[in-house]
Structure 1
């Protein structure tokens, strides 16, 4: 059964981008080391070549590789899909993408790509799990991720915390309006310019 992991790079004060979707220095750690994420990685899953472009610290690489290799499906909102144009049909990790949106897939857009558009978060996670099989489902943080989290559909929260304070912007948990408890983090990895944390959601 697939594990549903809500994941994103995040500022110390809980933002994944500013109001204009600019990530600022949040992704600098992907380029500040000497260890390619793709090194020793199962290349069949690196469709976009992202792993070969990123060079991180050894500690970050050893954390990121197995996590990325374990992902079968990405779940995201329409805003990120439009912003990235769906990575032109080649997701950075995994084989499938589920987009939570009231609008259908753009007509004629990469018909060969395994991209699925659903307007309900529960249906989206069900489809993502079906597609992922024994691998994991990665939920992009933000408004849609927050809705999935609030619906009780997330098993783990993974945060790559970067030492910067944004002050305002797009929140990791979107517009969560009540308290949720997480377990103590069983994974804490200090990279160069980033702290990797992973929490199980308390049931």
Structure 2
């Protein structure tokens, strides 16, 4: 069975978006190099440095399913039913969009984080499950469902915005030492969650 991990690109002061959901300079690292990393969505391109290409391949190469919240799904317009990770998406929502099966045939809509992780694991089989949503990450961490926390830390300070992490209901969560990949315009960190 694969791992369940979270991944978000984050400003140095802890934000994954501006207050209005705009990403500002967060994704500059996706265009900061000469290495093309192929993906499943033709409207998205990754031109990164060698080190960031290694990180991207680690995160997407074994991704069997991706879990997102409804807010992110709506902002991204469902990625046109082709998430760049190349995996089916499981969306946590209390109400699926109208005509969901016709518009997003590879997307599953589930009510609840635990149910979403369970469904994503079923879809992924032996591959990894990636959580790419702040609220879902928080809830999954509180439920003890995350094996690894991943951050692409970029050199920008937002001062305000949507935080990657907020208060955990379960209190402090201890992580092991990170693996570190120094990329151009981002440092990629992987923190195993202590059991």
Q: TM-score category by the smaller chain?
A: over 0.9
Aligned residue for 2:190, secondary structure, equals strand
Contact 2:80 2:104 in 1 (8 A): no
In the alignment, which of 41, 53, 59 is matched to residue 48 of structure 1? 41
In structure 1, distance between residues paired with 2:140 and 2:98: 24
Residues 1:32 and 2:32 aligned together: yes
Change (3 A) 1:4 1:108: closer
Contact 2:14 2:163 in 1 (8 A): yes
Residues 1:165 and 2:148 aligned together: no
Q: Which consecutive segments of 4 or more residues in structure 1 shift more than 4 A?
A: none
In structure 1, distance between residues paired with 2:154 and 2:145: 26
In structure 2, distance between residues paired with 1:173 and 1:85: 24
Q: How does 1:31-180 map to 2 (within 5 A)?
A: 31-38=31-38, 46-49=39-42, 53-108=45-100, 110-111=102-103, 113-177=105-169, 178-180=171-173
In structure 2, distance between residues paired with 1:201 and 1:141: 18
Change (3 A) 1:18 1:92: same
Aligned CA-pair RMSD: 1.6
Q: For residues 88-143 of structure 1, what are the alpha-carbon distances to aligned partners after superposition, in whole Å with 9 as ceiling and x for unaligned?
A: 11111133110001011332553562211111111110000000011100001311
Q: Count the aligned residue pairs.
A: 194
Change (3 A) 1:20 1:111: closer
Unaligned runs of 5+ in 2: none
Unaligned runs of 5+ in 1: 39-45
